[in-house]
Amino acid sequence: MADKKAPPQKTLLLIDVDCGTDDAQAIMMAVAAPNVKIVGITCVGGNTPLENVCKNVLRVLQLCDRLDIPVYKGAGTAILGHNINASDFHGKDGLGDVPDPHAPGLELLQKEHAIDAIKRITNQYTGKITLVATGPLTNLALAIRMDPTIPSKLRSLYIMGGNMESRGNTTATGEFNFLADPEAAYIVLNEYSCPTYIATWEHSCRSKLPWEWYDQWVNQGTKKSEFIKKIYAHSLQYSRSDKEEKAIVGGPGFVSCDSYAMAAAIDPSTVTKVIQCGVTVELDGKFTRGMMVLDLIDELKLKNKISVMDGCDMEKFKKLMEATVK
């Protein structure tokens, strides 16, 4: 009698977030995906101060009945200490300023520091971890400084951040995550040798969803759709305004930036096209600090060639988004 086929192994995800609204939605997407196992979530300051990030992650996990997933507190400041935040867009607490009186407290955080957790988990699951980073890359940069072997032990790295056509969303040429810690982004892009994929600001904007779809998505009547609707209400007053929609590449629509990196990690076939080249970050420019640089002519002779996402299968992406709120 033939042996039954073993069930396919789940993708092991380690997620690094600065939990604003789109990070929350990306975490929910990962929780909903049947083919992945989340081994941990590490927190970094960014969209909102670090303590808020930690609270927000725990709040999302409570919503999803997944407080069994370990959460680790990481770096609260950029490598050079010049912090920025996105409280105007995400709300002062990072989740639209709609607090939950029953949200879990910080006592549920793991005692282990995020950097130590990244080191331990990559060593424990050598060659099996897919790392998804949806905030400033401070934790990742500090981790490689403490253990230079980490990239060689990762299966892959998916990043939301940077830009590929010098279009900024925080400065004229700077995307928030990279601008929040340019030195960290520089270290990661130049020193992480594992297969690396980047969902840039422009890629996210070109893969936006119609507002009609969004309105149906958040009105499903589930506790998750209600949560999404509440936390996004603050930011939507900006993103649905005429000024914001004219500034966004490709016209009107809903953009959940971090979800594109998460979707690609869960199902790589959601990415239909990539630009593969050396990538670095400008550190010194008066107008271009934090801007991602694509070396399309190999002028810099960078050893690591990174896959910059340049196309999204919108039907597959929609299905992952729709599973998020069920």
Delimit the domains of the chain by residue range.
11-324
Comparing C-alpha atoms, which of 310, 311, 306, 312 is closest to residue 294? Answer: 306
Q: Are 31 and 57 in contact (CB under 8 A)?
A: no
Which member of 3, 16, 18, 100 is catalytic? 18
Helix 21-32 vs helix 257-266: angle between axes, to the nearest 10 degrees?
A: 20
Backbone φ/ψ region at 71: left (φ over 0), alpha (ψ -120 to 50), beta: beta
Residue 88 falls in the annotated catalytic set: no
Residue 60 token pair: 């999302």
Q: What is the pLDDT of residues 62-115, one digit of tens each?
A: 999 999 999 999 999 999 988 999 998 999 999 999 999 999 999 999 999 999
The CATH code of the domain at 11-324 is: 3.90.245.10
pLDDT of the residue at 247: 53
Report the range of poorest mean pLDDT among 125-129, 167-171, 229-233, 237-241: 237-241
Q: Are 132 and 261 in contact (CB under 8 A)?
A: yes
Q: Are 117 and 41 in contact (CB under 8 A)?
A: no
Q: What is the pLDDT of residues 171-204, one digit of tens each?
A: 999 999 999 999 999 999 999 999 999 999 999 9
The pTM for the full model equals 0.96
pLDDT of the residue at 242: 56
What lies within 8 Å, CB to CB, of 277 at 6+ separation is 294, 295, 296, 298, 305, 306, 308
Mean pLDDT for the chain overall:
94
In the structure, what pLDDT confidence band is assigned to residue 1 with cuts at 50, 70 and 90? very low
